[in-house]
């Protein structure tokens, strides 16, 4: 198997699994209990919180564990809306956000909030000037993702953070794809809230966090016990939190090495596909791009057929985002960067890890070449195109 879908999820690192195991058995206690196994669990949760806080340059009490990135995004937007609606009911976001943000915005629209969905340019960049121009006296929140999960474009987060601060508007970023891949300093970038998820950085699934800067008036997500400073009640998912901490420690330690290796593999893959497969287009920004993201559109083919045929050769990839597969709608991200419906349908996302090798990528390039050629041979559109050319 060649796994090239690390934007959908990553393999839990063996050292992460190892770190988690004792918290299912010996240290099974409830962190709220005062006896030995409980206090051990509590200590482990605190350590993970410290590791994560340190990675962002924030305080441990500003990290709130959630059940993942979607939950953190939902919480940030809905609770800001409720907590600040006395100031205004306008929110600014972009057209290329993850559905966890976009569908939450739709929900808020039904409840009387007004949302501005900013356009992006053809490489998927949000313009800081467009953000500033969209700010109104009743704007309470700007939510722009750190890096896009489909096309890998990295957004100008520092500039947007500075604009938000200048206008006294809160700034949330969905950093689920960027966290663990890129260095992030919440303070320097002017970030008030940040969402992350462990399973995108070799941690376990079902655990994430929302960073909430001290002083923000956000309502609790879950009412009950005093866990997470009473803002998200419920007994902590201790093994997952410990695993998240171990994954963050690992990601921080390997970040430079991973960046170097993955971006080299990424550029190799992009170069080979661009030179060897005719009628293709690279989606996303050439330079400001996640180190592990490759996204192409191939004219005259269906991405779904390409995926199925790649799967038969043991290659795991994606067409758009994992959340959109199963639906026939083309990716909203690819449409937002100006692709036509048929171009968006012919897209392929390959997201690498440091475990991939050049030899694997050679196999993938040969597979893509031959499958694209075969699919085009069966395509009436391609036939028309060839006849027009003659």
List interacting residues with ligand PLP (CB under 6 A).
68-70, 73, 98, 100, 145, 149, 174, 176-177, 197, 200, 208
Strands 139-143 and 90-94: parallel
Q: What are phi and psi of 338, to 5 degrees?
A: 100, 10
Beta partners for residue 358, in sequence order: none
Report which of 361, 375, 358, 359 is spatially closest to residue 309, judged by C-alpha positions: 375
63 touches 53 (CB < 8 A):
yes
Handedness of CA 270, 274, 277, 282 (dihedral sign): positive
CB 176, min distance to ligand PLP, A: 4
Nearer residue to ligand PLP within complex by CB, 177 or 331? 177
Closer Cβ to ligand PLP, 63 or 372, answer by number: 63
Sign of CA dihedral 44, 49, 54, 56: positive
Tell the smallest beta-carbon distance from residue 33 to ligand PLP (Å): 28
In sequence order, which residues have a C-beta less than 8 Å from that of residue 135 and are 6 or more positions away?
92, 142, 163, 167, 169
Residue among 59 and 103 whose Cβ is closer to ligand PLP: 103
Nearer to ligand PLP, 178 or 367 (CB): 178
* Closer Cβ to ligand PLP, 98 or 266, answer by number: 98
Q: Using an 8 Å Cβ cutoff, are 1 and 316 in contact?
A: yes
DSSP summary character for residue 86: T
105 is catalytic: no
Alpha helices in the chain (DSSP H): 14-20, 36-56, 69-84, 99-110, 128-134, 157-166, 238-276, 303-312, 332-336, 341-345, 358-377, 380-389
List phi, psi (to 5°) of 265: -65, -40
Q: What are phi and psi of 20, to 5 degrees?
A: -75, -35
**Residue showing the smallest CB distance to ligand PLP in the complex:** 69
Q: Name the minimum Å distance from CB 98 to ligand PLP.
A: 3
Residue with the two structure tokens 């995004």: 73
Question: Among candidates 344, 348, 341, 270, which has minimal Cα distance to 307?
Answer: 348
Q: How far is the CB of 9 from ligand PLP (least distance, A)?
A: 8
- Please check whether residue 68 is in contact with residue 197, taking contact to mean a CB–CB distance below 8 angstroms: yes
Please report how close the Cβ of residue 177 comes to ligand PLP at its closest, in angstroms. 5
Q: At closest approach, how far in Å is the CB of 196 from ligand PLP?
A: 9
Q: For residues 299 and 331, which CB has a smaller minimum distance to ligand PLP in the complex?
A: 331
Q: Which of 105, 280, 316, 323 is catalytic?
A: 323
In the complex with ligand PLP, the residue whose CB is nearer, 177 or 299, is 177
Q: Taking the CB of residue 86, how many other CB atoms lie within 10 A of it?
A: 8
Least separation in angstroms between CB 277 and ligand PLP: 26
Residues labelled catalytic: 323
């Amino acid at each position: 198997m060649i796994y090239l879908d690390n934007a959908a999820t990553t393999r839990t690192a063996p050292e992460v699994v190892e770190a988690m195991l004792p918290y299912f058995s010996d240290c099974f206690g409830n962190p709220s209990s005062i006896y030995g196994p409980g206090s051990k669990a509590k200590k482990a949760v605190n350590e993970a919180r410290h590791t994560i806080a340190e990675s962002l340059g924030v305080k441990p009490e500003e990290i709130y564990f959630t059940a993942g990135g979607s939950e953190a995004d939902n919480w940030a937007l809905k609770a800001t809306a409720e907590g600040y609606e006395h100031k205004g009911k306008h929110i600014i976001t972009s057209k290329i956000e993850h559905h966890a943000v976009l569908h939450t915005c739709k929900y808020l629209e039904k409840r009387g909030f007004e949302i501005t969905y900013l356009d992006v340019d053809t490489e998927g960049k949000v313009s800081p000037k467009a953000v500033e121009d969209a700010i109104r006296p009743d704007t309470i929140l700007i939510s722009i993702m750190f890096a896009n999960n489909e096309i890998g474009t990295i957004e100008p987060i520092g500039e947007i953070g500075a604009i938000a601060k200048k206008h006294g508007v809160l700034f949330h970023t969905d950093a689920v794809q960027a966290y663990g891949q890129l260095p992030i300093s919440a303070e320097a970038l002017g970030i008030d809230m940040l969402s992350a998820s462990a399973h995108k950085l070799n941690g376990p699934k079902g655990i994430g966090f929302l960073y909430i800067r001290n002083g923000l008036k956000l309502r609790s997500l879950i009412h009950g016990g005093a866990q997470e400073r009473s803002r998200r009640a419920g007994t902590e998912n201790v093994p997952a939190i410990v695993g998240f901490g171990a994954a963050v420690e690992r990601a921080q330690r390997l970040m430079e090495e991973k960046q170097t290796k993955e971006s080299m593999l990424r550029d190799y893959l992009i170069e080979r596909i661009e030179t060897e497969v005719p009628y293709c287009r690279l989606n996303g920004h050439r330079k400001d791009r996640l180190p592990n993201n490759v996204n192409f559109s191939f004219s005259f083919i269906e991405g779904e057929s390409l995926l199925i045929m790649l799967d038969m050769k043991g290659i795991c990839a994606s067409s758009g985002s994992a959340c959109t597969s199963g639906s026939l709608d083309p990716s909203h991200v690819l449409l937002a960067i100006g692709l036509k419906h048929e171009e968006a349908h012919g897209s392929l996302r390959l997201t690498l890890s440091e475990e991939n090798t050049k030899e694997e990528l050679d196999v993938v390039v040969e597979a893509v070449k031959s499958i694209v050629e075969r699919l085009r041979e069966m395509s009436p559109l391609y036939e028309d195109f060839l006849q027009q050319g003659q």
